[in-house]
Structure 1
């Protein structure tokens, strides 16, 4: 796997980071703040922030931002991490598909949508610095990080995702449980598919002890629509039963 693909897969496994903006209160200084996010279907982070927040004031004055994404806090220098550099742009928080995707991953944010001072911002990634481990690091172009060029077919998943998820959760619950056991060794008592994208899908799982965890599943080849998703999911179901 090349560095860009590895960096994108790492990004798809994360949902929080440290957002840095350029301070308006103290010009010339960066301002860091925690920022939960959900990726759109082009692997661009979507954040939901208040007009009252310091970083929102900063973005209004200068849209150039950076976000540090990392996994695990045990040994930060040894673990993989990804620094995103891009521009934050305000987008419609009432986008039905995007709102549904955001709330599947971050349901605790539901009340924010009823507040007039919260808005969606998309971070359009221009460049990324990925550190996979000692001696494995490099810069990745933002267009490469999106991964859209890997699939020859137009990506229709943005509009089809909700339907795919509802179908899987209603009619293929047992398959989701089987995926958890075969690919992650997790004996799940409860499972819910949260999202599906060109690279794979995420499942919210709860094991017999009650431990909850979001599990990531990778497709062998990228998908672009409901039909290719069905084929990939069927193949995974067959592999899980062998």
Structure 2
């Protein structure tokens, strides 16, 4: 059933941090234009991108905001046998300064280098508000999904506080999460973000999402989950994931 595909579709969106943005070409009407963009998710759980005002895809979105973002499992041996998600969306440029500041605070933790070229060049934040999703979980597992995104209860100061605390005081715990999840350990690790279902770790230039053992709706529940994971000898299986 399509209902059962919502969770893995959202997890794929969380696990990846770059995709192919397809827009309607302004210079070649009638032809789609694809470009690779990094993204993180905003407070509503929608993809958030930072793009240059002179980029072709920006000109395209200014003319027609209808677009799609294709996300697939990284390093797949067989791209047709693994999950991929197409997010059909309306792109909206952020204009409110408070919204821009909130977006920047989160986005820079995921992509620290972006702070330099955002301030030095003409870049703007855009959010991709989904209209519909097409999720393929492998051969024959094909679904149209209307509602995949889930709002993040922590985006803002609550998340910023948790992230700062873990990065400044609990480097050993973060290193343990890396070991526990079998992630690469060739570069320093930092906590980039927290959502109700898991956390994002940044290792070098790459971002990885790891699920919590249970859903966390409050900062206290997040702290309890992080403590549990710091003491675990294997990664617990999530047991109460929402649709």
Structure 2 partner of 1:134: 139
CA displacement 1:123-163 (0-9 Å, x = unmatched): 0011111111112121111xx31134xxxxx8243331111
Structure 2 partner of 1:59: 61
Secondary structure of 1:155's counterpart equals coil
CA displacement 1:22-43 (0-9 Å, x = unmatched): 1222222211111121211332
Whether 2:109 is the aligned partner of 1:104: answer: yes
Q: Is contact 2:153-2:195 (8 Å) kept?
A: no
Distance in 2 between residues matched to 1:216 and 1:200, nearest whole Å: 7
Secondary structure of 2:67's counterpart equals strand
Distance in 2 between residues matched to 1:205 and 1:56, nearest whole Å: 29
Residues 1:137 and 1:161: Cα distance change in structure 2 (over 3 Å):
same
Number of aligned residue pairs: give it: 230
Distance in 2 between residues matched to 1:34 and 1:28, nearest whole Å: 20
Instruction: Write out the 4+ residue segments of structure 1 that deviate beyond 4 Å after TM superposition.
Output: 185-189
Mapping of residues 185-200 of structure 1, within 5 Å: 190-200=188-198
What is the TM-score of this pair, normalised by structure 2?
Answer: 0.84
CA displacement 1:189-240 (0-9 Å, x = unmatched): 732111111211122247xxxxx75332101332233222112212222334
Structure 2 partner of 1:233: 226
Which structure has greater strand proportion?
Answer: 1
Q: Is contact 2:7-2:148 (8 Å) kept?
A: yes
Secondary structure of 1:111's counterpart equals helix
Q: Which moved more, 1:194-203 or 1:90-99?
A: 90-99
Structure 1 partner of 2:128: 123
Please point out which of 150, 155, 158 is paired with 1:157.
Answer: 155
Shift of 1:21: 0.9
Residues 1:227 and 1:52: Cα distance change in structure 2 (over 3 Å):
same
Secondary structure of 2:148's counterpart equals helix
Please point out which of 6, 17, 22 is paired with 1:4.
Answer: 6
What is the TM-score of this pair, normalised by structure 1?
Answer: 0.84
Structure 1 partner of 2:238: none
Distance in 1 between residues matched to 2:184 and 2:121, nearest whole Å: 41
Q: Is contact 2:16-2:207 (8 Å) kept?
A: no
Mapping of residues 191-210 of structure 1, within 5 Å: 191-205=189-203
Secondary structure of 2:232's counterpart equals helix
Unaligned 5+ residue runs, structure 2? Answer: 236-243
Residues 1:64 and 1:46: Cα distance change in structure 2 (over 3 Å):
same
Structure 1 partner of 2:208: 215
Q: Is contact 2:154-2:194 (8 Å) kept?
A: no
Residues 1:222 and 1:140: Cα distance change in structure 2 (over 3 Å):
same
